Amino acid sequence: RMKHITCPIMIVHGNSDEVVPREHSNMNIEELRKSRKKRLGAEHESENKEEEVPNDDLMIYTLFLDRVGHNDMEMMYEAEMHARYRKFLDDLRAQSLEYAPIAKRGFWS
- Whether pLDDT at 43 is above 60: no
The closest alpha carbon to 55, from 90, 104, 10, belongs to 10
Of 25-29, 37-41, 46-50, 93-97, the poorest mean pLDDT is in 46-50
Regarding predicted confidence, which is higher, 23 or 58?
Answer: 23
Please say if the pLDDT value at position 33 is more than 60.
Answer: yes
pLDDT tier for residue 99 given thresholds of 50, 70 and 90: low
C-alpha–C-alpha distance, residues 10 and 107, integer Å: 22
- The tens digit of pLDDT for each residue in 65-86 reads 999 999 999 999 999 999 999 9
How far does the chain reach from its first CA to its final CA, in angstroms?
34
Mean pLDDT for the stretch of residues 19-24: 95
Of residues 1 and 28, more confidence is placed in 28
Q: Quickly count: other Cβ atoms within 10 Å of residue 101's Cβ.
A: 8
The pLDDT mean for the chain works out to: 80
